[in-house]
């Protein structure tokens, strides 16, 4: 039996691919599958608009996974009947004052230097595309290839696809630790005793580092990074915006974004906070989100506020995922996806299930093995 610890988008996606291939696979979640970061996310699939200095190694992986999304969504619809609201209107990043616009021009040249397919729009052109944008918008970058999904529907679809393909889902079962014998994985431990297994995929999101029994050399350096979000409700037939829109941030919200879903929910995110496992909403966080969103899209003022929540991104030391084998035979990692776990889900599912079945590390995930952190330390000595 293959044991997957964590039933978020990573664990369920890998489990689905393994079950489809006829493997005996069980996903364990200490709560209800899909209800942590996977539920809290905004569902953006935007490697171009989110490309940042220092994350160049991540870009090819992110672009590869983005290219897999259309088929992934179609396959989920075909096997479960659940439409995950894959939308292809693209993503826009706007500048609101002269400072912003100049900064955005620099980002635009950076995007171009990476060979990304992006377009510069004047304020007028940006408003032609999205007429409800504030008059202050003075310029924008449009990325036609950056899309989005409804991540909550993805979780629901993956859960059902996994079980229909023959996978076993055990919810409300916390895995306390991993046991080893002669240096390799031999079992997982629960409060009710141990379960024998020689293959464990650790996909426990922000909690991955906390699992008991892990040899130090195999413990992924993952920490929680809090994100607060709010949602307002638009008229689904008359949405204020059609595409995802990013704008300038402020303090605890480094950049504001708006992600409109087909059911009229408009997600506004997100704070980025080093607060451990705290997921309390704060007045300051919610105020910043609403104020920044209102600056960019004044029409939200009269919309009903329908939800507010916070989630924990599983962040690694270099903000890239940690994928593949560890020095402990039988222990495989699929964690540390930070702010890109929805985007990277199709690729993670394929690459990790291939590794479990064939034992070979695919070329896409080679730069994202756990041993890169050890190499970085050695290089700095």
Ligand X SMILES: Cc1cc2nc3c(=O)[nH]c(=O)nc-3n(C[C@H](O)[C@H](O)[C@H](O)COP(=O)(O)OP(=O)(O)OC[C@H]3O[C@@H](n4cnc5c(N)ncnc54)[C@H](O)[C@@H]3O)c2cc1C
Binding site for ligand X (CB under 6 A): 5-11, 28-31, 33, 35-38, 40-44, 174-175, 203-207, 211, 227, 229, 269-270, 311-314, 335, 337-343
CB of 304 to ligand X, least distance (A): 21
Which token pair is 178? 């991993």
In terms of CB distance, is 5 or 256 closer to ligand X? 5
C-alpha–C-alpha distance, residues 105 and 107, integer Å: 5
In terms of CB distance, is 104 or 202 closer to ligand X? 202
C-alpha–C-alpha distance, residues 320 and 318, integer Å: 5
In terms of CB distance, is 139 or 148 closer to ligand X? 148
CB of 88 to ligand X, least distance (A): 16
Kindly tell me the burial class for residue 117, based on how many C-beta atoms sit within 10 Å of its own C-beta (0-12, 13-18, 19 or more): exposed
Which token pair is 85? 């609201």
> What is the sign, positive or negative, of the torsion defined by CA atoms of 8, 364, 198, 16?
positive
CB of 124 to ligand X, least distance (A): 28
Residues 6+ apart with CB under 8 A from 368: 61, 320, 321, 322, 323, 324
Pairing verdict, β 265-269 and 222-233: antiparallel
In terms of CB distance, is 30 or 223 closer to ligand X? 30
CB of 245 to ligand X, least distance (A): 13
CB of 97 to ligand X, least distance (A): 26
| CB count in 10 Å sphere of residue 176 | 14
CB of 233 to ligand X, least distance (A): 19
In terms of CB distance, is 101 or 188 closer to ligand X? 188
CB of 128 to ligand X, least distance (A): 26
In terms of CB distance, is 7 or 95 closer to ligand X? 7
Following CA atoms 55, 57, 61, 63 in sequence, which dihedral angle do they give, to the nearest 10 degrees?
A: 60
C-alpha–C-alpha distance, residues 260 and 240, integer Å: 9
In terms of CB distance, is 101 or 200 closer to ligand X? 200
Alpha carbon 8 to chain centroid, angstroms: 10
Which residue, among 74, 47, 76, 45, has the nearest Cα to 59 in the 3D structure?
47
CB of 177 to ligand X, least distance (A): 9
C-alpha–C-alpha distance, residues 220 and 322, integer Å: 7
In terms of CB distance, is 26 or 101 closer to ligand X? 26
- Residue 237 DSSP label: T
């Amino acid at each position: 039996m293959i044991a997957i610890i964590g039933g978020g988008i990573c664990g369920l996606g890998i489990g689905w691919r393994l079950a489809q291939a006829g493997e005996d696979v069980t996903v364990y979640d200490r709560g209800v599958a899909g209800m942590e970061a996977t539920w809290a996310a905004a569902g953006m699939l935007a490697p171009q608009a989110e490309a940042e200095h220092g994350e160049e190694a991540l870009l090819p992986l992110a672009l590869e996974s983005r290219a897999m999304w259309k088929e992934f969504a179609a396959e989920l619809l075909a096997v479960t009947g659940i439409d995950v609201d894959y939308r292809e209107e693209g993503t826009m990043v706007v500048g609101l004052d002269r400072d912003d616009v100049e900064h955005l021009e620099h980002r635009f040249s950076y995007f171009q230097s990476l060979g990304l397919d992006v377009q510069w729009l004047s304020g007028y052109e940006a408003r032609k595309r999205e007429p409800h944008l504030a008059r202050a918008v003075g310029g924008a970058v449009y990325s036609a290839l950056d899309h989005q999904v409804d991540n909550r529907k993805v979780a629901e679809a993956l859960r059902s696809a996994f079980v229909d393909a023959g996978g076993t889902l055990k919810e409300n079962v916390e895995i306390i630790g991993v046991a080893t014998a002669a240096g390799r994985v031999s079992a997982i431990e629960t409060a009710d005793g141990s379960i024998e297994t020689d293959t464990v995929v650790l996909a426990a999101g922000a909690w991955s580092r906390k699992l008991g029994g892990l040899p130090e050399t195999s413990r992924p350096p993952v920490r929680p990074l809090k994100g607060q979000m709010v949602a307002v409700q638009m008229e689904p037939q008359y949405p204020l915006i059609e595409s995802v829109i990013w704008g300038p941030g402020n303090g605890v919200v480094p950049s504001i974004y708006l992600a409109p879903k087909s059911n009229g929910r408009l997600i506004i995110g997100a704070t980025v906070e080093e607060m451990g496992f705290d997921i309390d909403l704060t007045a300051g966080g919610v105020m910043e989100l609403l104020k920044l969103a209102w600056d960019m899209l004044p029409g939200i003022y009269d919309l009903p506020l329908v939800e507010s929540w916070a989630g924990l991104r599983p962040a690694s030391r270099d903000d890239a995922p940690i994928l593949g084998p560890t020095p402990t035979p039988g222990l495989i990692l699929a964690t540390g996806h930070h702010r890109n776990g929805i985007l990277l889900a199709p690729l993670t599912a394929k690459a990790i299930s291939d590794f479990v079945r064939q034992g070979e590390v695919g070329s896409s995930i080679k730069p994202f093995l756990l041993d890169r952190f050890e190499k970085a330390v050695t290089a700095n000595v």
